[in-house]
Structure 1
């Protein structure tokens, strides 16, 4: 059976019954999500490395656990792109071209500002995942539609924990 979703490079062909044009929009959305996960991972690690203050230990551990979870999603996203017969990100430059989450190169960020920025970025990632969900459902890509729910839940939980960590009194 000829693969209806063959990559433009036959060496990267992947068997699938999904339609090529439909999966391209899913792959595009997934690649934005992947770029945002890498950007959020690096920002979370940056803040983990540079957090200071009286809650150092708790914030340091929270950000490390969250960074590990975010990084863990990246492989699943990239592999989902490949399963649909498309290609995924290849470099830091490719990440930069696709990401919607902004970098933070400030020489100092206070701990509460770190947590608030990460909270907002995780909520931005939730929106990106919803775009993936919409594209997947339109393409009748049940597998992507199902798996993105878990990623969304994880990002919502991270945002919740970051919100609670910044509450006063």
Structure 2
């Protein structure tokens, strides 16, 4: 049977006691998470920059804080991929090819729609992280599983804040 494992240049293959198949599966699960973090980071900054309305200050600060958290999650995840001997994202087009969360390029988005869209994005990211955690468990990669547990908690906190901020709002521009 021919192997379909990704080819990592020899100079980048970090030695690991994990099986090559497990590493490949973990890398395959992590790279879209990193891409989604970048994509939702940019969407959150977009909403931060283009927000208007009576809750401007509160949402402006909330979106900025959440964007920082998303961006901060990318380096530990990418470094886990490298520690395992895999390769990770190289460009914006690579992000676009791996991201699972849709972009939002609308000129105007109502504040409630911003909150609900980001809440949905974060819920989906948490679900993807749980699936990646299962892959890590199967491959006996406890360090990556532990990192994901922390990131799941942070993602659930973002979802909670967005959900609570959306309570009682109406769809207005």
Sort the TM-score into its range (normalised by shorter chain): over 0.9
CA distance in 1, matches of 2:8, 2:152: 30
For 2:8, the equivalent position in structure 1 comes to 8
- TM-score for both structures, normalised by structure 1: 0.94
CA distance in 2, matches of 1:75, 1:144: 13
For 1:157, the equivalent position in structure 2 comes to 157
- Asked if residue 58 in structure 1 is aligned to residue 58 in structure 2, the reply is yes
Deviations 1:1-58 (A, max 9, x none): xxxxxx6311112121111111111001100100000001000000000000000000
- Asked if residue 148 in structure 1 is aligned to residue 130 in structure 2, the reply is no
What is the 5 A alignment of 1:125-136?
125-136=125-136
What is the 5 A alignment of 1:8-157?
8-157=8-157
Displacement of 1:114 in angstroms is 0.3
Aligned to 2:105, what secondary structure does the other structure show?
Answer: coil
Aligned to 2:30, what secondary structure does the other structure show?
Answer: helix
Aligned to 2:127, what secondary structure does the other structure show?
Answer: helix
Aligned residues: 163
Aligned to 2:14, what secondary structure does the other structure show?
Answer: coil
Displacement of 1:73 in angstroms is 0.4
Structure 2: which 5+ residue stretches go unaligned?
A: 1-6
Aligned to 1:109, what secondary structure does the other structure show?
Answer: coil
Runs of 4+ in 1 over 3 A off after TM superposition: none
CA distance in 1, matches of 2:8, 2:54: 54
Structure 1: which 5+ residue stretches go unaligned?
A: 1-6
- TM-score for both structures, normalised by structure 2: 0.92
CA distance in 1, matches of 2:161, 2:60: 13
How large is the RMSD of aligned CA atoms in angstroms?
Answer: 1.0
Aligned to 2:161, what secondary structure does the other structure show?
Answer: helix
CA distance in 2, matches of 1:8, 1:150: 28
CA distance in 2, matches of 1:8, 1:107: 41
CA distance in 2, matches of 1:90, 1:131: 24
CA distance in 2, matches of 1:113, 1:8: 41
For 2:4, the equivalent position in structure 1 comes to none
